[in-house]
Amino acid sequence: MGTKLITSLIPNDTAKAIAWTLIHSLWIGLLFAAVAALIVTLSKRSSARLRYHLLCATLMAFVAVMTFTLLREIRINSTITTAAAGTAFGPIRAIVQQSGMARQLIAFLNQQSAIIFLIWAAFFILKSIQLTGGVLYIHKIRTRNIIAAPAQWQHKLKDFCTKISISTPVTLLQSELVSVPVAIGWLKPVILVPVGMICQLSPEQVESILLHELAHISRQDYLVNIMQGIVEAVFFFNPALLWLSSLIRQEREACCDDVVLAHISRKSDYLEALLAMGSNPGKVNLAMSLSAGSNQLKNRLKRMIYLENQKLSFREVFSLLLGIIFITAFTILPKAEATIQQHISTPVVKGDYLKATDLAGQLRPSSAKRSTAPRKKKLTNQEVSGMKMYGQELVNYQDMLTQIDQSMQGPNMNSSKRKQTVKDTASVKQANTPQALRTDSLSSNSFSAGKKLNHQNELSATDKENLKGIIDEAKKRVE
């Protein structure tokens, strides 16, 4: 019932293309995660700003590749459907030769593509609702239970905006709904701090916190964070993409930490402010808050104390290598539709070298006997008078020629006549057209002559000349 519901809402080709795009995103995301790991490893001594820009470029490249993959899958599925509708081969996916674990997996994914799309769509809707709820909550905390900040801090905020080169007016408010300082908004940015924080912390610590939130505003991190949330909602199932996104968030906070350290005189004031407010759980995911998890806060403190960028942990390296080893076993194998499309694009002719039933696998030679005479050219996809050659008729015709060829090689036949006979026989074999297969007087006489010669050990000179004349006449008619 779920499959019928999907078909009624969205075309089957589109749903199948989306399902395969999501499947491809797993190994593609792993490749981009490897690129991100390489960036982190090679930029140990680089600035956090450079690392952040490189990681953001990696994420944007992933989105671009997945968009291209989706368009390509839509085109491939529409081409396969059109080709299947115009052929007599029946359902395309049923013809695929099921050999090996990978082909069986591909066949299974093809059959369950609608279910895969349905499951993804259900979770994507939930993620979208959660994302929308976050935006609505931001609007709520911005307009409800707020108190204006003291005037002296409003003036200090303006001075900080001038130092950081922020031309947009920024509003400082105290909120009863937040537990940590947050910066929200893009066109009209607002900094929200918990009620009482200004009185509890020292002026130097409050200044460092305000500088941190202003750094987010100057870098337009609020808008980037929302776009990042949308990508995470689409690829919520992709661990490589989620890991890349977490790296971007870590480097984003590191960039803001560098801005704060560049504008304060005592580093300890900012470290103490992080310890006081940074470990509090933040409820606003889309806002730029000062809060962080215990591991992230520890890494930020270590980076500022020892002046070194964060390195990859053993768990991250092991997981990345394990994923690459696992995906490598399947990425070499092509998608079944691509192989089928290649065979459908060229009409298949049933001959002594092709079998129409072997579409997705290897082209095996026919069991029919082939003459040892040299061929002038191989059989190609040809049609005479708009009709294709049928394999059974061609096999019967070649059996007749083989019998004539075997019968004419008697002990009294000299080498020159034998070579001429083989050459004439090969010429007749090349004339694989429906005209040569018609049951007229010529083909009947040829078949009768071959059948008669098969029961004789030797041929008289007169019979040889008559048979040679029949073959020559057949050669002229088919040419």
Distance (Å, rounded) from C-alpha 151 to C-alpha 143? 20
Q: How many Å apart are CA 335 and CA 21, to the nearest integer?
A: 12
For residue 329, what pLDDT is reported? 66
Residue of 194 and 366 predicted with greater confidence? 194
Reading across the β-sheet that carries 288-289, which strands appear in turn?
146-148, 171-175, 190-194, 182-184, 288-289
Residue 474 CB neighbour total at 10 angstroms: 20
pLDDT at 207 > cutoff 90: yes
Whether residue 20 is predicted with pLDDT greater than 80 in this model: the reply is yes
Per DSSP, the residues of 71-112 read: HHHHHHHHHHHHHHHTSSS--HHHHS---SHHHHHHHHHHHT
Of the listed ranges 272-276, 335-339, 350-354, 425-429, the least confidently predicted one is: 350-354
Judged by average pLDDT, the poorest of 24-28, 109-113, 298-302, 346-350 is 346-350
In angstroms, the CA 420 to CA 409 distance is: 11
Instruction: Pick the more confident residue, 451 or 292.
Output: 292
The reported pLDDT for the residue numbered 212 is: 94
Tokens 């916190």 belong to residue: 209
Give the lowest-confidence range in 35-39, 348-352, 413-417: 348-352
Least confident of 140-149, 358-367, 401-410: 358-367
User: CA-based angle 293:296:300, to the nearest 5?
Assistant: 135
Q: What pLDDT is stored for residue 86 in this prediction?
A: 43
Contact 240, 307 (CB under 8 A): no
Q: Looking at residue 28, what is its pLDDT? A: 94
What average pLDDT score do residues 90-116 get?
Answer: 65
Using alpha carbons, select from 125, 123, 91 the residue that is nearest to residue 110: 91
pLDDT classification of 395: cutoffs 50, 70, 90: low
Mean pLDDT of all residues in 347-371: 42
- The per-residue pLDDT for range 309-343, each reduced to its tens digit, is 888 888 888 988 888 887 776 655 544 444 444 44
Say yes or no to pLDDT of 429 above 60.
no
Kindly state the average pLDDT of the residues 113-124. 92
| H or E element, residue 2 | helix 2-9
Which of 137-141, 200-204, 280-284, 439-443 is least confident? 439-443
Mean pLDDT computed over 99-109: 73
Give the ranges where 188-238 is alpha helix by DSSP (H).
197-200, 203-218, 221-234
Question: What is the pLDDT at residue 241?
Answer: 95
For residue 251, the number of C-alpha atoms closer than 13 Å in the C-beta half-sphere is 24
Average pLDDT over residues 64-91: 70
Q: What is the pLDDT of residues 45-66, one digit of tens each?
A: 899 999 999 999 999 999 999 9
For the chain, give me the number of helices (H) and strands (E)? 20, 5
Mean pLDDT of 244-267: 93
- Taking all residues of the chain, what is their mean pLDDT, rounded to a whole number? 74
How many CB atoms sit inside 10 A of residue 282's CB?
19
Q: Note the pLDDT of residue 413.
A: 47
CA distance 120 to 16: 12
- Bridge partners for 113 per DSSP: none
Mean pLDDT in residue range 19-30: 93
Residue percentage of the chain with pLDDT more than 90: 36
Residues of the chain above pLDDT 70, percent: 59
Sign of the torsion angle spanned by Cα atoms 39, 42, 44, 46: negative
pLDDT at 10: 73
* DSSP H or E run through 282: none
- Supply the DSSP symbol for 20: H
Other CB atoms within 10 A of residue 271 CB: 19
Cα–Cα distance between 36 and 59 in angstroms, integer?
Answer: 9
Q: Which residues of 305-329 are buried (b: 16+ CB within 10 A; e: fewer)?
A: eeeebbeeeeeeeeebeebbeebee
Question: What is the rounded CA–CA span in Å between residue 313 and residue 325?
Answer: 19
If you write DSSP's letter for every residue of 389-454 in order, what string do you get? PPHHHHHHHHHHHHHHHHHH--TT--HHHHHHHHHHHHHHHH--SHHHHS-SHHHHHHHHHHHHHT
